[in-house]
Amino acid sequence: MGINMTDVLFYQNYGASGDVCTITICVICWMLIGSIFTIKHKNLVVFHMANALVCFAAICSIVYHWLIERMTQSTVFWIYTFRAGTYISLILTFVLYIIYISNFIDLEGRTKRIITILNGVGAAVFIVAQISTPFSKLVFYIDENLQIHQNYYLDAFRFAYVYYMLIAGSLLIGNRKKFITKMYKCIRNVMFVSFGLMTIQSFFVSTSIMCITFEFPILAALFLFHYNAYDSDTGTLDAKAFDAYIKDLKNKKFSVICMYLKEINPQKMLALSEEFYHFNEKYFKNPCTFRLNENKMVLVYEDEKNSGAEQKFPVLLEDFDKLYEEFQMDYQIVFIKSDVSLHSGTEYLALNEYLEARMPMNSAYRCNEKDIEAFGKMSYILKELKDIHEKGDLSDERVMVYCQPILNTNTGSYATAETLMRLKLMDIGIVFPDQFVRVAEKYEYIHTLSKIILNKACVELKRIEKMGYEVERISINISVQELRDKNFCDDMIGIINKNGVDYHKIAIELTESKNEKDFENMKKVIQKLHALGIRFYLDDFGTGYSNFERILELPIDMIKFDRSLLLLATKNAESRYMVGSFADIFRRSDYQVLFEGIESDEEEQICRDMSIVYLQGFKYSKPIPMDKLVDFLTTNN
């Protein structure tokens, strides 16, 4: 059997230009990756390998077709070799495509095992089929007369192509929610284009553009996942690139300068673009600048390449002051040296935010070891809070309930108490509320802590009652943020009922909110729980926002005057009269009044002179573990 019409068309229709373009594009990809910033993660290695295989396949294809045109007995072996090299390289490229997609979507478990098996077994079968082609003489072989025999459409590579396209398509479609929509559509369309071109060339019985269709997905991966994300206005990289860059520095010593630029609008940013574009190069050698959002710029430089950089900081700050004067651009600047306890860009940004919260505007601060230690402590607390929240154990031993007894001046006894929260963590011991409450509120863990405190307080209250002691009421501090939770009322009621505590023995302490939506929501919650018998206290009256009209709208039982008002009352008779008048207004409106922060006999007497019934403060007791309340009552009642 000699060359048939299909064979003639197959070899005559081949043109090397397609493969030459493929090699050129592969080389350009390497040049781009080598000369610009790219995001370096584990898939970049897969990317390089796939690019190399496509390049090698194109080279083999050119040599293979060149040898066929000059075929002799001595070149037959090399024809087989380069033909197999072309197809095996492309099959292995498909294998790498599947690995790349699996890594990107974080494939795991049973699905990952199945895909890995299909990928490996398919590669083995199709590669063996290609290698055995000269021996089986079913698809392609050259006889003693140097005649080529081939069945183009039964070539194992055609089946391999369909097989791997089905696997890749299934992975993309089945996990499309893991991709950004635009990225998913781009990858899908590139695959359609590649498949379409392969189909078209099959109709023309050619392989001229076969290799280049494998390079199209590689180009898509370069731009979508390893792209050079420069901001055209400022010449900066983005947040994704920042995190990748920090990880890429590994053990090198470097410095990070975080610049918060308050309320920079697009017009101002355009005006500042030239300044920022050259700003980093003016002071530092080979730095990288990142724009993480509209207001945050970060500059990173290697210490080894910038030995005298710290001496330039005063001049840098002078330039920022000039920019402030010119553009009225408020700023905060934080200088951070690399530290072994910080492992990612995310951690450096979290440290920066931690420091910014403690800085005034238009100022600069240099982070020190104590700051990093304090941040590490805060990060540990946050990690524990997250674990407490996720476990949701209402008896979690890490959350401790303390209380501060309240004196009733009419009876001279302590019948009520305010519960207070503490954390007891393995690595750092007792943690006070000022170190974790704001963090818990920010990450929405606060309601879980409140539920634990309420549950433990109810358990302890029942124990105290069984011992024969009468406690009129205990109060729980609740954040206004918690009231936004649609399950708040049900959670409170469920815990109280579970422990068999009377509703009237529980009080909830709230601070006033000037947010209209929060106020209306607070009003509904108070009305619902108050109808059951739960009491409500307005905490910290006299600090921040206070609106008499709004307070009178709420079914509040007690107003707790902040210590700042007590201190005001100690200044002079006029101040004392004003504070006393406030207390009298509430008392005449059927509110009970409590003064917080009593620390001396003089302060107590001032409160008694104003006819205040309930007093609370260190004069009577510091916060004590609630399981010690019985001992306190035994001694003091």
What one-character-per-residue DSSP string does 124-177 give? HHHHHHHHTHHHH-SSEEE-TT--EEE-GGG-HHHHHHHHHHHHHHHHHHHTGG
The pLDDT of residue 143:
81
Contact 181/189 with Cβ under 8 angstroms? no
Give the orientation angle of helix 109-131 with respect to helix 156-174, to 10 degrees.
170
Token duo for residue 118: 């299909």
The pLDDT of residue 90:
92
Token duo for residue 345: 């860009």
Task: Note the helical H segments in 531-572.
Answer: 548-553, 563-569
The pLDDT of residue 36:
59
The pLDDT of residue 3:
41
The pLDDT of residue 515:
72
Contact 453/487 with Cβ under 8 angstroms? no
Contacts of 420 (CB under 8 A, 6+ apart): 401, 402, 403, 404, 433, 477, 623
The pLDDT of residue 250:
77
3-state secondary structure 112-130: HHHHHHHHHHHHHHHHHHH
The pLDDT of residue 92:
93
- In the chain, what are the domains? 5-225 (1.20.1070), 239-367 (3.30.70.270), 394-636 (3.20.20.450)
Convert the pLDDT of each residue in 100-131 to its tens digit: 888 877 777 888 899 999 999 999 999 998 88
Convert the pLDDT of each residue in 191-206 to its tens digit: 888 888 888 887 777 7
The pLDDT of residue 287:
80
* Residue segments in the chain with a per-residue pLDDT below the cut of 50: 1-9, 232
The pLDDT of residue 6:
43
